[in-house]
Chain A
Amino acid sequence: MTTQFKMDAPQRPLLDRTEQGVIHRPLDRPEGPLKVSGRAHYAAERQLPGQVEGVLVRATIARGRLAGMNAEEVRAMPGVLGVFSDERFLRNPAQGGAGEAPVQGVREIFYHGQPIALVVAETLEQARHAAANLRPSYEEAEAQVDPATASDVDRPDKRRLDQGDLDRAMAEARASVDVTYTTPPHHSAAMELHASVASWEGERLTLHGSYQMLKYNKAELADSLGIPEENVRVLSPFVGGGFGSKLGISPEAVAAAIAARDLGRPVRVVMTRQQVFSMVTHRTSTRQRIRLAADEEGRLTGIGHEDRVYNLPDEVFSEPTTQSTHFLYAGANRRLGQEVARVNRACTGSVRAPGEAVGMLALEGAMDELARVLHMDPIDLRRRNIPDRHPEQDIPYSARRLADCMDQGARAFGWSPGSRREGEWLVGQGMAAAARINMVAPSEARVTLRGDGTALVETDMTDIGTGTYAILGQIAGEMLGLPVASVDVRLGDTDLPPAAGSGGSHGASSAGSSVFLACQGLRATLAERLGCEAEDLTLKDGVATGGNFRADLVDLLSGGDLSEEGKFEPGETADDASQAGYGAFFAEVAVNRITGETRVLRMLGTFAAGRILNEKTARSQCQGGMIWGIGAALTEELSFDPRDGHAVNDDLAEYHLPVNADCPPIEVHFLDERDEMSCPIQTKGVGELGISGAGAAVLNAIFDATGIRVRDYPATLDKVLAGLPD
């Protein structure tokens, strides 16, 4: 049986009336023991009989055609089984949720680092050596690699908004700022390298891959290969981080599948770290002009937010930089817009919190600047500009505790800005608001109550570190009155019901709702068997009570399994209210007066994101996001060579992720909230909220400590040093 539900109206919080008491609790991840003992198997760790190794080869020019290569010579090298360069090979990785083939064909070269061939050999050592000896020749063409000077620039209509008269609002403002911020390209740099193991059984392809959204990945793979979807199975039970870079399929999957078909043997292709930097999507750089106009009391009369980003020609994705600017603050006169420079650089796409992750860095910096102009506390300025209704669409907000987050966060942090000196260090504090739109997506799951009174949850949803195994078990346990130890969760296999996948922080709400719905169906059947109304049914610790009846769950099941599918679909509530997660970041930094080095001394985030399903995994998500904020603020910057557009610092020694010693203890608080407009379990996304604004709190703290306003992220020593007194 199937329980279907479309989110057309707010939902009563049933999870507040169930009695098992496992929702919200900070329970350990059920898959934890496998992960900490090295028994969780990731994509590259499949070892199938007869399996051989493939190594990808990349283009070393930015634009042109592949004229030829010494394939024959390489084929003759020890152990080499084949050199493949097929028109079905992916030129660009697929964007998140594409569900169809991305740009294919590798003879035409559009960026440095584009895949052009795959060399397959019996062993990795042989394949690697042979790949290094493959020498392509090119017919080079002129390339555009610099987004600042690119001649081909799009101005997408969907990113443009003109409301009222911003120029006039600026001219008449009592206080205003007109500033330009820049953010450099960022890379997801998930720790697990992108990897695929492809094997065929007749017409059927099985791909062990490292992907976030399996039902789309299956469709992308089938379309790329020109085979029916039902002949493709994708498995990703464990994913070593994704952060957007594994939303869509990447070149290694298709190359592995083509080679495996041809050779009649399973083929494993693992990207090198350097290849990851060019062959999967990264985040564009941004140049953002922000204008804020305010009256004498700090009420915004106008907001302008215009940005320039880049992507390859014809890619439809562009960073939605101004996403939260649309709804976060008041201001009647508004101008938002975007320019997309078309360049021959690796493909850009979603990286954790596309839009807010960089847009909020600029907006929240500018708000801090406005507060300084007005001599106002930055919390007061923000509080004063929380709109009653959406300033562009005249719709209400769903649950929104921004003011509470700022107030409670300030108290918990001990908010007291003002520079002080400690030896050679200048210490200061900064804050920023957090905001990230909330989304849900269609998702399906099957829940089976087994005759022995345990349950099984099945869906092709993924757990990319987000805690899916934990929370789906908790939802089923809560709804069915079972301890989480009695619930098994199977994920990451396209043979299971298709889920929303992990992306846009919609996984917990969407997949969670599908599990909730399936359990609702099971509860209805159990109530019927017990002889009571579904509303009166209580399930706790394997016992059902309701009406005047009471029975053990196993007796109600009488030895048989009971299975139900849940299908969740977004509905009208998505348009009826502006939905977002909110929060506030606080940072205390020390800036060295001699070297310009910034150390984050402590950081705190307070968030309201609807119901929190597991306080432990949600906290980890937010801490992780805030540390990404530290990275954006201080260290992360992917550089492209201005001559040929190749990624220069394409490894983990030169692309500076925050390391342990960069990170202070991160404190996270959640406010109690239910968002009844979001989904039937009243949750909102948390995975991206923690990054959306975090870096701005750090740079605002640097200003508080030193009076130096860095507008070009990241605030490396050279930029701070330039402003320090001699």
Chain B
Amino acid sequence: MQVDLTVNGVRHALDLDPRVTLLDALRHDLGLTGSKKGCDHGQCGACTVLVNGRRINACLALAVMHEGDEITTVEGLGEPGALHPLQAAFVTHDGFQCGYCTPGQVVSACGMLGEVREGWPSHVSVDLEGPVDLSDVEISERMSGNLCRCAAYTGINEAIREASAKSEAAE
């Protein structure tokens, strides 16, 4: 099937087997291997990408469903020498060890901070309305779809807290 995917601002015209997941299209067909496969079943979050700004598990989507969507992968957030503030904070706070879950964590955190800015409540939010206070429990709750077997959670949360504080200060 013919499908047009816009990834990190670049349009790609692809001819894909309809069974190809968005994750495999990124990794195999576009060579964007930053998005990782940890389970292929929507259970680990390693494949998290942003679709029109919202985070999804790319292993649970078929590529052909995303014709015309704006997809952002970890490669689109920053690169060595020009890291996204979240990526830089992950390095400073050692928010990873083996690094395999890391792209998913970074992209997920990026999407999550957007949700917080828009005032979306979570399971642990005290209030369903109004602005969200990004407490430690909120970060942990909202990031629990991204597993890390190295268990770098302390560093991950510190990195997210720092990056979010910095971006608030900048606003």
> Which A residues are within 8 Å of any B CB, using their own CB?
28-29, 31-42, 44-45, 47, 123-126, 129, 188-193, 238-243, 270, 272-273, 464-467, 616-617, 619-621, 623-624, 627-628, 651-653, 657-661, 663, 665-666
**Pairwise interchain contact B101-A33, C-beta atoms closer than 8 A:** no
Q: Which residues of B contact A28 (CB under 8 A)?
A: 91-92, 94
**Docked CA distance A620–B88 (Å):** 17
**Pairwise interchain contact B90-A32, C-beta atoms closer than 8 A:** yes
Q: Which residues of B contact A624 (CB under 8 A)?
A: 97, 150-152
Quick check: which of B20-28, B113-121, B127-135 contacts chain A, the rest being far away? Answer: B20-28
Q: Taking A125-B20, A623-B153, A652-B44 as given, write out 9 further A-B residue pairs in contact, using a Cβ cutoff of 8 Å, ordered by the A residue number.
A: A28-B91, A36-B91, A41-B33, A188-B149, A190-B100, A240-B99, A620-B97, A628-B151, A663-B140
User: CB of B38 within 8 A of chain A?
Assistant: yes
Chain B nearest CB, measured from A597 CB (Å): 15
**Docked CA distance A608–B46 (Å):** 34
Q: Which residues of A contact B43 (CB under 8 A)?
A: 273, 651-653
**Pairwise interchain contact B91-A29, C-beta atoms closer than 8 A:** yes
Give 8 nearest A-B pairs by CB, closest first.
A38-B34, A240-B100, A465-B98, A35-B99, A465-B97, A627-B151, A38-B74, A33-B80
Mark B65-95 against chain A: 1 for CB-CB distance below 8 A, else 0.
Answer: 0000000011101111101000110111010
**Pairwise interchain contact A660-B140, C-beta atoms closer than 8 A:** yes
16 pairs from A and B in contact (CB 8 Å cutoff): A38-B73, A38-B74, A38-B75, A41-B33, A188-B149, A191-B101, A273-B38, A273-B40, A466-B97, A620-B155, A623-B155, A651-B43, A652-B38, A660-B157, A661-B141, A665-B136
Closest to B145 in A: A659
Chain B nearest CB, measured from A205 CB (Å): 23
**Pairwise interchain contact B136-A38, C-beta atoms closer than 8 A:** no
The interface centre, meaning the residue of A47, A239, A620 with most chain B CB atoms within 10 A of its CB, is A620
The interface centre, meaning the residue of A125, A188, A616 with most chain B CB atoms within 10 A of its CB, is A125
Closest to A124 in B: B24
Instruction: For the complex, count residues of B whose C-beta is within 8 A of A.
Output: 63
User: CB of B36 within 8 A of chain A?
Assistant: yes
**Pairwise interchain contact B75-A37, C-beta atoms closer than 8 A:** yes
Q: Which residues of A contact B106 (CB under 8 A)?
A: 36
The interface centre, meaning the residue of A32, A191, A464, A620 with most chain B CB atoms within 10 A of its CB, is A191
User: CB of B166 within 8 A of chain A?
Assistant: no
User: CB of B12 within 8 A of chain A?
Assistant: no
**Docked CA distance A660–B95 (Å):** 12
**Pairwise interchain contact A658-B151, C-beta atoms closer than 8 A:** yes
**Docked CA distance A465–B149 (Å):** 10
**Pairwise interchain contact B92-A191, C-beta atoms closer than 8 A:** no
Q: Which residues of A contact B37 (CB under 8 A)?
A: 44, 193, 270
Chain A nearest CB, measured from B9 CB (Å): 16
**Docked CA distance A445–B98 (Å):** 22
> Which B residues are within 8 Å of any A CB, using their own CB?
17, 19-20, 24, 27-28, 31-41, 43-44, 46, 73-75, 77-81, 83, 87-88, 90-92, 94, 96-103, 106, 136-137, 139-141, 143-144, 146-157
Chain A nearest CB, measured from B82 CB (Å): 9
**Docked CA distance A241–B20 (Å):** 27
Query: With A28-B91, A35-B96, A240-B100 known to touch, is A191 a contact of B154 (CB < 8 Å)?
Result: no
**Docked CA distance A125–B28 (Å):** 11
**Pairwise interchain contact B140-A621, C-beta atoms closer than 8 A:** no
**Pairwise interchain contact B28-A124, C-beta atoms closer than 8 A:** yes
**Pairwise interchain contact B94-A272, C-beta atoms closer than 8 A:** no
**Pairwise interchain contact B79-A39, C-beta atoms closer than 8 A:** yes
Chain A nearest CB, measured from B113 CB (Å): 15
**Pairwise interchain contact A125-B19, C-beta atoms closer than 8 A:** yes
**Pairwise interchain contact B24-A652, C-beta atoms closer than 8 A:** no
Q: Which residues of B contact A621 (CB under 8 A)?
A: 97
**Pairwise interchain contact B75-A36, C-beta atoms closer than 8 A:** no
**Pairwise interchain contact B147-A241, C-beta atoms closer than 8 A:** no
Q: Which residues of A contact B155 (CB under 8 A)?
A: 620, 623
Closest to B137 in A: A661
Chain B nearest CB, measured from A134 CB (Å): 18
**Pairwise interchain contact A623-B152, C-beta atoms closer than 8 A:** yes
**Pairwise interchain contact B94-A465, C-beta atoms closer than 8 A:** no
Q: Which residues of B contact A627 (CB under 8 A)?
A: 151, 153
Which of B36, B91, B92, B143 sits near A660, CB closer than 8 Å?
B143
Q: Which residues of A contact B147 (CB under 8 A)?
A: 191, 652, 657, 659
The interface centre, meaning the residue of B31, B77, B147 with most chain A CB atoms within 10 A of its CB, is B147
Chain A nearest CB, measured from B16 CB (Å): 9
**Pairwise interchain contact B150-A465, C-beta atoms closer than 8 A:** yes
**Docked CA distance A83–B113 (Å):** 48
Q: Which residues of A contact B27 (CB under 8 A)?
A: 45
